[in-house]
Amino acid sequence: MTDSRRRTALSQNRASTPVHLLYHIRVTSPHSHTPTLLVHGGAWAIPASEAAAHQAGVRAALQTGHAILDRRGSALDAVEAAVTVLENDPTFDAGRGSFLTSDGRVQLDALLMDGGRMRAGGVACVERLRNPIQAARLVLEQSPHVYFVGPGAEAFAAAHGMPLIANAELVLDRERQRLALARQRQAAGLADETFSGPECQPPGDGSISTPRQHPSDPILRDDKSPETAFHPATPIQKKGRPQGHDTVGAVALDIHGNLAAATSTGGTLNKTPGRVGDSSLIGCGCYADNLSAAVSLTGWGEPIMKLVLGKWATDRVAAGTSPEIAAREAIAYLYNRLQGHGGIILLGPDGRFGLAHNTPAMAWGIATPSGLQTGLTV
């Protein structure tokens, strides 16, 4: 058959195919991909006294999640497992040890998204679940819906085998003390410095640092980006200032070429009960699509939500921007447009990735078959 006849036959086949079937195409290439896992443990003003705990927690999550990828497991299983480890570690603002609401309770939000099947599951304002990311997985797999909140989310999880616990099991005395200090600061009219730090503000141009594409690679630079990265020193901790922690997340690429993303949080300190941030909202704090990228964000949720920043970043990857540049652009956009503070991990379907933050620090880690690396700035 000549080339012209082949093209004619292909056009005829497409014309005779029902429209709804044209979209049921394979969105992953058949060749093997390099399994890659990125995680973050929150972007904020991490004090030196908590640095080791943050890196140890991130490393444990990487080891658990990447072991699944090494066994040819799915990206979805890997990010769920990694985030479960972080939820179980009270170092982080997810699961046990999370920030308290203004009335002294823990309310948790989480989202999980499968970029191959374009399925997602989310829960918000849950108070009786130890691992909200596992409840999000149940929503993704077992429900025609995408999102459950409050008692409805807890009832759905319980109906599918998750045990319900007393909210008090999630509350630590450390967090009660933090809440008391936050109330004092609020009454005194002092600003919340959890994300920006007391002594550090990012430059007006939103300059941030550039990620490495592999643990052994040198820092990359781009002609369009400022060469001088924003690397603030560990902030001085003022007496009486409550220490914070923040959202956790993971993105992964498996050997089959599928992407997945997961984000989980206890929200912000002293938040109004019922408040939902960006973490569990599709396209805001979490998103995954094999045709673009997988992303998880951390930081001050309200500006991230207003900009739908996760989708903003993945759309740029889909349009041809490299993930390392798209990550920096996203955080610069967050600050320049709404003076927001936060961090991002971004992973493309070809294994390239980006990390960025404009907070004094962000706990992060990456694992590939070549090795594992963690850090507190990028």
Q: What is the pLDDT of residues 116-171, one digit of tens each?
A: 999 999 999 999 999 999 999 999 999 999 999 999 999 999 999 999 999 999 99
Angle between helices 309-318 and 323-338 (to 10 degrees): 140
What pLDDT is stored for residue 206 in this prediction?
38
Tell me the domain boundaries of the chain. 36-375
Structure tokens at 21: 């079937």
Contact by Cβ (8 Å): 59, 102: no
Among all residues, which ones are annotated catalytic?
Answer: 247
For residue 35, the 8-state DSSP code is: -
pLDDT exceeds 70 at position 249: yes
Q: What is the mean pLDDT of residues 218-238?
A: 29
Which of 10-24, 227-241, 336-350 is predicted least confidently? 227-241
Query: Where residue 227 falls among pLDDT bands split at 50, 70, 90?
Result: very low
Cβ distance 332 to 206 under 8 Å? yes
In this predicted model, which residue has the larger pLDDT, 191 or 348?
348
Interatomic CA distance for residues 311 and 289, integer angstroms = 10
Contact present, 62 and 345 (Cβ < 8 Å): no
Q: Residue 246's pLDDT band (boundaries 50, 70, 90)?
A: confident
Decide if pLDDT at 203 tops 90: no
pLDDT at 202 over 60: no
Q: Given this model, what pLDDT does residue 320 score?
A: 98
DSSP 101: B
Residue 25 amino acid letter: I
Contacts of 112 (CB under 8 A, 6+ apart): 76, 79, 80, 120, 121, 122, 133, 136, 137, 140, 260, 261, 262, 286
244 or 281, greater pLDDT:
281
> pLDDT for 283-317, tens place per residue?
999 999 999 999 999 999 999 999 999 999 999 99
Residue 190: pLDDT band with limits 50, 70, 90: confident
Q: Residue 209: pLDDT band by 50, 70, 90 thresholds?
A: very low
pLDDT at 189: 85
Tens digit of each residue's pLDDT (9 = 90 or more) over 30-43: 568 999 999 999 99
Spatial neighbors of 162 by CB under 8 A, at least 6 apart, are: 129, 131, 134, 135, 138
User: 36-375 maps to which CATH number?
Assistant: 3.60.20.30
Residue range 233-257: average pLDDT?
Answer: 66
What average pLDDT does the structure give for the chain? 84
User: What is the number of helices (H) and of strands (E) in the chain?
Assistant: 10, 12
Residue with the larger pLDDT of the pair 308 and 13: 308
